[in-house]
Amino acid sequence: MAKSNIRIIGGNIKNLSLAKDTENILLNGCNISSVLLGEKMTNIFFANCTFAKSAEISDSPTANYDHLNLSNPVIFSDCTFKGLVSGVDITPLSIRGGNIREVNLRSNSRVYFENVSIGSFSYIGRPLFTTRNCYIEKLVSWSQPSNDVYQRGMTTEISTDEGITQYIYKSPQVGWVKIE
């Protein structure tokens, strides 16, 4: 189980399991089959990694949801996901750049997409995700996030044939407001 201060460059990883309180993990240019995320992790960074078609990213079965500790997402930068990204129940994910074949988010998945090329995008249940400057080839379903705790001023947007629709998060009392 990975715990802290680990850097892997160019490795092939079958099952990566991150422990509770894991910190300072960098994986760069790795081929990955599955990732099990721990609780209360900080500075977890995947750069230029390729996730196999059957790759699974999941939370630890003992992880607890803490809506006040959402400022430390696991970061995926310029990664390629050859299969499905469904999100996780507890750990926030930030996917910046790269390519995803298919996104079908489960309810309450907190995933921040930015500058990502996505083949197909859909979600079920309660939307907590955001999208910014993403190219989505096939849009099945999308919504601004339901009200929960977010950083004030955070934005989300969707680009369709009718143009770009943007929303900004004002506060827990006001929630998301469409930018006119």
Any domain includes 104: yes
Any domain includes 171: no
DSSP, res 123: E
Any domain includes 41: yes
Amino acid 52 reads A
Residues with Cβ within 8 Å of 173's Cβ and at least 6 positions away in sequence, in order, are none
The model carries a pTM of 0.91
- Each residue's pLDDT tens digit, 74-120: 999 999 999 999 988 778 899 999 999 999 998 888 899 999 999 99
What is residue 113's predicted lDDT score, i.e. its pLDDT? 97
- Each residue's pLDDT tens digit, 143-179: 999 867 788 999 999 988 788 999 999 998 899 999 9
Write the burial class of residue 16 (CB in 10 Å: 0-12 exposed, 13-18 middle, 19+ buried). Answer: buried
Any domain includes 24: yes
Any domain includes 32: yes
**Is pLDDT of 61 > 90?**
no
Any domain includes 77: yes
Any domain includes 157: no
- In angstroms, what CA-CA distances link 5 with 17, 26, 27, 63? 14, 8, 11, 21
Any domain includes 156: no
What is the rounded (10 degree) CA torsion for 66, 98, 169, 164? -150
- Domain total in the chain: 1
Length, in residues, of the chain: 180
Domain carrying residue 35 = 2-149
